[in-house]
Amino acid sequence: MAKLILSLEGSVIREIPLDKERITIGRRPQNDIQIENLAVSGEHACVVTILNDSFLEDLGSTNGTLVNGNPIKKHILQNNDVVEIGKYKMKYVVEAAAAGQSAQDDFERTMVMKSIPGKPAAPRAAAAPTSPPTGAPRPAAAAVAPPTFTPRPAAAPTSPPTGAPRPAAATPLTSPPRPAAPAAAAQKPAVAEAQPLATLQLLTGPNAGKEIDLVKNLTTLGKPGVQVAVITRRPQGYFITHVEGALFPVLNGKAIDAQARQLNDHDVIELAGVKMEFFLKR
Amino acid sequence: MINLSSVLEVAIATHPGMVRSHNEDSIAADAEIGLAVLADGMGGYNAGEVASGIAVELIRTEMKKSLSNKSPEELNGQDAEQLIEAHAARANTAIYQASLSQPHYSGMGTTLVVALWHDNQISVGHIGDSRLYRLRGGALEQITRDHSLLQEQIDSGMITKEQARHSQNKNLVTRAVGIDPEVETEVHTYSVQPGDVYLLCSDGLSDMVTDEDVQLTLSSLAANLPLAAQQLVQQANDNGGRDNVSVILVRIAKDYPARAGLLDRVKAWFK
């Protein structure tokens, strides 16, 4: 479950679990989180929690609400966000985020929610797990639900998958090679940004001397309909692949095949009659 | 006899991703009858892949049967929509029955997106958060609207599309095949232009790869559809590959009116 850690000038005052759908923050005593300070409005802000998402909303306060230093009207809270109201700070922490990867993985599995018009939310499991899930799955899915929805786990995974082959319905045509370092893939996007910038310098042809920075994830080269290759930027480096045309690109004097080839610093590519050099900028 | 194999260029790719050990997605495409089906299963053990497998296989074989004795002009948008609805309903019944009969299949279900090309048109039916996109003139457009909690939150103005990208509630669908005795398929028909590229995908792609990167990939690599499909899967995996990822790409090579000649059109008019 997520919580807010309320602090003033670095010392923690208390922790507030987000166990209600709506938690209000303000100076008046009827607020769930009361902060007796004149910089805080009577009804200052509220946090609405729906399943795993918590939404912070400023209720038209006089002095505003900041998240990570930026004023907000409405904000979807992310783990470790710091909410500032007057001199008070509240850190938003999702506790289960640190729980085991498997629990996290199970949780991410697609689930169905059923809408039952006119009925209050009543969680109901479709399939009883044959063994209790290990770790601490986030209770939010079962605990707090918006009205008219019944979260319903499609089924609880009972044992580690056995890796059974998939039914023949779908024929996998092209499975990409797995990256050598799966660890690099553990973090979400922006992995490609870690790549050093690379450039192609044209060596021959009318534009000889011109440089092309490879700033996109995909850069196509050549003449459409005649010969085209693509250079892809991936976490593990830059790769060249043939796209279309009867002729394949020539890399350091040798034609490549249909497979993607990793580019090394100072490789020379020949494509549609033009030579170019690949180099990494440091 | 319907035969669109000279009109539709098709490429498919599916991969378990970098985290999951099995692939619960199922896909099938048949250029001849102009059909593409993609399903993303859910449920314990291998129930997810059983559910998606039933849906895809049943719709593929039944659709082929339904269309085998039809000529192209016998199939208009309304017929195509009815076919999609009917076969999705049968898949729903089959999965629901299976889940009742086998305890370890209990509660299994699947998302579904079905596309049927006919007479310069596409009819698309979907249930859940598997999607159809269209690339036309370099612009990518999402054609289907997810049946998910997140989409409902976006629709009600609670969160923006940008905020939705960071939501923890990506995995909650509000509609699925095989969960209840009946399911409603959302079906629409759109006109098709030569050069269009259609993308059917599971959320393993749409959650991991931004629309901008999908657009860049499709517009750069439309000349080599199998490579484009492979690139999309690779990008999802490079970005973490947290879910199974499946794509079906269909490119429209040329017009495919049901009634080619003027005489045919005049005849049809008098029918």
Instruction: Please name the member of A110, A161, A162 whose beta carbon is closest to the beta carbon of B171.
Output: A110
- The interaxial angle of helices B77-101 and B47-68, nearest 10 deg, is 140
Residue of A nearest to B27 (CA): A170
pLDDT of residue B158: 84
Instruction: Quote the ipTM score.
Output: 0.83
Instruction: Please name the member of B28, B42, B174 whose beta carbon is closest to the beta carbon of A113.
Output: B174
| pTM (2 d.p.) | 0.70
Q: Which of 62-81 (B) contact A at CB < 8 A?
A: none
pLDDT of residue B176: 95
**What backbone phi and psi angles, to 5 degrees, belong to B100?**
-80, -35
pLDDT of residue A13: 87
What are A4's two structure tokens? 């807010």
Q: Is the pLDDT of residue A107 over 70?
A: no
CA–CA gap between residue A108 and residue A1 (Å, rounded): 15
Q: What band does B110 get if pLDDT is binned at 50, 70 and 90?
A: very high
Contact B129 A110 (CB under 8 A): yes
Q: What band does A143 get if pLDDT is binned at 50, 70 and 90?
A: very low
Q: How far is the CA of A158 from the CAs of A50, A138, B96, in angstroms?
A: 27, 17, 20
In degrees to the nearest 10, what's the CA dihedral of B130, B135, B139, B145?
-20
- How far is C-alpha B59 from the chain's CA centre? 12
Instruction: Please name the member of A114, A155, A175 whose beta carbon is closest to the beta carbon of B108.
Output: A155
Assign 3-class secondary structure to B143-179: CCCCCEHHHHHHHCCCCCHHHHCCCCCCCEECCCECC
Assign 3-class secondary structure to chain B: CCCCCCCEEEEEEEECCCCCCCCCEEEEEECCCCEEEEEEEECCCCHHHHHHHHHHHHHHHHHHHHHHCCCHHHCCHHHHHHHHHHHHHHHHHHHHHHHHHCHHHCCCEECEEEEEEECCEEEEEEECCCEEEEEECCEEEECCCCCEHHHHHHHCCCCCHHHHCCCCCCCEECCCECCCCCCCCEEEEEECCCCCEEEEECHHHHCCCCHHHHHHHHHHHCCCHHHHHHHHHHHHHHCCCCCCEEEEEEEECCCCCCCCCHHHHHHHHHC
| pLDDT above 70 as % of chain B | 94
Q: Is A86 helix (H, G, I), strand (E, B) or coil?
A: coil
Instruction: Find all residues with CB under 8 Å of B257, minimum gap 6, and list them.
Output: B119, B120
Residue of B nearest to A129 (CA): B44
What are A244's two structure tokens? 């279309």
What are B220's two structure tokens? 């750069």
- Tell me if A114 sits within 8 A of A123, measured CB to CB: no
Kindly report the nearest CA distance between residue B71 and chain A, in angstroms: 26
**Could you report the per-residue pLDDT of A176-206, keeping only the tens digit for each?**
333 333 333 333 444 445 678 999 999 998 8
Q: Is the pLDDT of residue A150 over 80?
A: no
CA–CA gap between residue A235 and residue A225 (Å, rounded): 30
Instruction: Please name the member of A154, A169, A179 whose beta carbon is closest to the beta carbon of B42.
Output: A154
Kindly report the nearest CA distance between residue A38 and chain B, in angstroms: 30
Q: Which of A166-170, A222-226, B247-251 shows the lowest per-residue confidence on average (mean pLDDT)?
A: A166-170
- How far is C-alpha A138 from the chain's CA centre? 18
Q: What band does B262 get if pLDDT is binned at 50, 70 and 90?
A: low
Mean pLDDT value across chain A:
73
Residue of A nearest to B171 (CA): A110
Q: Which of A188-192, A221-225, B120-124, B157-161 shows the lowest per-residue confidence on average (mean pLDDT)?
A: A188-192
- Tell me if B128 sits within 8 A of B198, measured CB to CB: no
Per DSSP, A192 falls in state G
Q: Is the pLDDT of residue A175 over 90?
A: no
**Could you report the per-residue pLDDT of B2-57, keeping only the tens digit for each?**
789 899 999 999 999 999 888 999 999 999 999 999 999 998 767 999 999 999 99
Contact B45 A159 (CB under 8 A): yes
Q: From A146, A116, A123, select the one nearest A22 (Cα to Cα).
A: A146
Kindly report the nearest CA distance between residue A109 and chain B, in angstroms: 6
Contact A217 B213 (CB under 8 A): yes
**Could you report the per-residue pLDDT of B46-80, keeping only the tens digit for each?**
799 999 999 999 999 999 999 988 888 788 889 99
Contact B42 A167 (CB under 8 A): no
Cβ-based burial of A43 (10 A; exposed 0-12, middle 13-18, buried ≥19): middle
CA–CA gap between residue B82 and residue B148 (Å, rounded): 24
Contact A217 B243 (CB under 8 A): no
Instruction: Please name the member of B28, B176, B241 whose beta carbon is closest to the beta carbon of A170.
Output: B28
By the CB < 8 Å criterion, does B17 face chain A? Answer: no
Contact B171 A111 (CB under 8 A): yes
